[in-house]
Chain A
């Protein structure tokens, strides 16, 4: 077979596939951020911490209640979502009239408190979480060995991402939501309970983070700091895609995953930076992001 820039095609395909897998993680996390920013105008810095809480809830369920992966996949997002609604009701809702910065500061503080609390309780070195029995092993694709679990992650997150996009952009409920962000007073006048809708949106957004946490638990280290490591990249994804653009978050998440995968083949040292280089270029050329609208 011919090689491409000195890299055999098998390796290239393998890396592209892995990039797609990572990209689907980015997409899932940035989707939640984009939904929250798009609908609430809140820059949710607690997203990474809530992703960590999702993974920890999965671990706690397994360790103390004997509930395995599939149960956690349902329960953990609900728990994280409820936690999110509580935070929104008691704290975040007071800040909507103020500058974005206050929401950012509050959620950043919440992230530090959550991480600190888990670190105090469970230590820093992390907890073990096994891959569910049904998804162990893998397939030999000829050019690479694809673990079943990774395949599942891609499928699950793609389904959720496009489901969310569809719900917000193509259904009546989504239309209400979008209208409520555009002009809350008018929508309330039509008899729709806007505050409840906003709480539910925030709850849903962070539930997506919780879900990503459960998906991540079997392959990444379940530690209080796991969110911090990922959240910066996810923010870059959202900025590149355009703040608040749902389709932008999904497409950019996948695209950057692929780009990162390629970088790991050609120049691995730069693999953590490439996303930010792209971000800088996009901000220079199109400050609203690839899919964002100028406001």
Chain B
């Protein structure tokens, strides 16, 4: 009996010494849910690639932080806010998920932001662009990592203005997203002293842009800003090439373009196009090395959204390691405190409103002659420093900024 008691005490003591390492980690696992579009229009720019990126981040920690194993789970939100919300709720309530990552499509992201805010879970946004996510709808636990509509619009507007392109014409998708891109760019261009010579609104999902391009061509603008996305942008650029718009001296600026769009266009059509990006695989040794590893798993180079997922997940795990807990309040504080330093962001910093400040890049699409092969698409024309790339947190309307 006595020996049994002794053994029991010894066991308890042993267990007791083993617990502290992961005592602060709920259910002893750090679980990160990558929630994005896996079959629809964002599947190529986020999709499985984002899950691969998240796994790569976890592997760098040996799939273990603060003594607890790291697990990546994935789900498809099908670009529907209600599906995203119910999946997020399920993950948090019964799945033991500590952080949700990616979530392209701003409507879905806004829904998830509400849930993670109420339930105190970390939300690592790479895919969504709505500025409200780090503005009026900001959350102490929500982090907007890769880009936002302000950075894309204002960044491109400013960078092109500085290149002497001062007269703009907009081809805008006629819904909230397109209008907000146009508005942000207009504000920036006008504040610098440029002019808007005209704009035309087209319905979402237009296949023929020739009428609009003809109007833009006749407007005498220096830059034709495409305030649309995805298939609309691709069709517009393809047809602009056909009408010889860039050859005639006007610049074409895609206000929200991803490298997958350029790949879909081909360099013959896309050459000369200006765009802003948060990441390009061929920037330095670090990005090249990481992208090569990514390509080996995914079969293609990463988009900025996928690279952003990697960086955000890595920073989150770093914060968990430093805080020695997965408690959302403590981890969020650490995430704001620690600098972001990896192949994606150099000297990045998380502001009070959850916006991660990092340099953005103005890129120009190469000509077929300049390109050395597959995915060799961008020339980085200019680095847009973090503090001018993003909106000043004080003006974001986020109640967390004092």
Query: A residues within 8 Å of B by Cβ?
Result: 10-11, 14-15, 18, 21-22, 119, 123-131, 137-138, 144-145, 147, 149-150, 218-221, 223, 225-226, 229-230, 261, 264-265, 268-269, 271-273
Residue of B215, B242, B264 touching A125 (CB-CB under 8 A): B264
Q: How far is the CA of A186 from the CA of B125 in the complex (A)?
A: 68
Q: What is the number of contacts between chain A and chain B, taking CB atoms within 8 Å?
A: 107
**Is A221 within 8 A of B234, CB to CB?**
yes
**Is B243 within 8 A of A15, CB to CB?**
no
**Is B40 within 8 A of A124, CB to CB?**
yes
Assess whether B383 is interfacial by the CB under 8 Å rule. no
Q: 1/0 contact trace for B188-211 toward A, CB 8 Å?
A: 000000000000111101111011
Assess whether B235 is interfacial by the CB under 8 Å rule. yes
Q: 1/0 contact trace for B233-269 toward A, CB 8 Å?
A: 0110011001110000000000000001101111011
| A-B contacts besides A11-B214, A14-B214, 10 pairs, CB < 8 Å | A10-B218, A15-B211, A22-B208, A124-B40, A138-B242, A149-B242, A219-B242, A220-B208, A221-B231, A265-B215
Assess whether B177 is interfacial by the CB under 8 Å rule. no
Residue of B41, B206, B207, B217 touching A226 (CB-CB under 8 A): B207
Assess whether B81 is interfacial by the CB under 8 Å rule. no
Q: How far is the CA of A131 from the CA of B40 in the complex (A)?
A: 27
Residues of B within 8 A of A137 (CB): 244
Q: Kindly report which residue of chain B lies nearest to residue A228, judged by CB atoms.
A: B205
Residues of A within 8 A of B260 (CB): 125
Given the known inter-chain contacts A11-B214, A119-B39, A271-B203, please indicate yes or no for A219 contacting B238, CB distance below 8 A: yes
- Selected A-B contacts with CB under 8 Å, 14 pairs: A11-B218, A15-B211, A125-B264, A126-B231, A128-B266, A147-B242, A225-B41, A225-B231, A268-B200, A268-B211, A269-B201, A271-B206, A272-B205, A273-B203
**Is A264 within 8 A of B212, CB to CB?**
yes
What's the nearest-Cβ distance from chain B to residue A72, in Å?
16
Q: How far is the CA of A90 from the CA of B39 in the complex (A)?
A: 29
Query: B residues within 8 Å of A by Cβ?
Result: 39-41, 43-45, 174, 200-203, 205-208, 210-212, 214-215, 217-218, 230-231, 234-235, 238-239, 242-244, 260-261, 263-266, 268-269
Q: How far is the CA of A85 from the CA of B234 in the complex (A)?
A: 33
Q: How far is the CA of A18 from the CA of B204 in the complex (A)?
A: 20
Q: How far is the CA of A129 from the CA of B212 in the complex (A)?
A: 22
Q: How far is the CA of A264 from the CA of B244 in the complex (A)?
A: 20
Q: Kindly report which residue of chain A lies nearest to residue B205, judged by CB atoms.
A: A229
What's the nearest-Cβ distance from chain A to residue B373, in Å?
14
What's the nearest-Cβ distance from chain A to residue B295, in Å?
15
What's the nearest-Cβ distance from chain B to residue A25, in Å?
8
Residues of A within 8 A of B242 (CB): 131, 138, 147, 149-150, 218-219
Residue of B200, B207, B214 touching A229 (CB-CB under 8 A): B207
Given the known inter-chain contacts A125-B44, A125-B261, please indicate yes or no for A15 contacting B266, CB distance below 8 A: no
**Is A126 within 8 A of B234, CB to CB?**
yes
**Is B211 within 8 A of A128, CB to CB?**
no
Residues of B within 8 A of A123 (CB): 43-44
Q: How far is the CA of A138 from the CA of B261 in the complex (A)?
A: 25
Q: How far is the CA of A226 from the CA of B244 in the complex (A)?
A: 24
Residues of B within 8 A of A226 (CB): 207
**Is B207 within 8 A of A128, CB to CB?**
no
**Is A128 within 8 A of B264, CB to CB?**
yes
Given the known inter-chain contacts A123-B44, A124-B44, A147-B244, please indicate yes or no for A272 contacting B203, CB distance below 8 A: yes
Residues of B within 8 A of A269 (CB): 174, 201-203
Residues of A within 8 A of B269 (CB): 128, 130
**Is B211 within 8 A of A261, CB to CB?**
yes
Which 8 pairs, one residue from A and one from B, show the smallest C-beta to C-beta distance?
A: A128-B266, A126-B264, A264-B211, A272-B203, A125-B44, A125-B260, A221-B234, A147-B242
Q: Kindly report which residue of chain A lies nearest to residue B201, judged by CB atoms.
A: A269
Most buried by B among A10, A21, A123, A218: A123
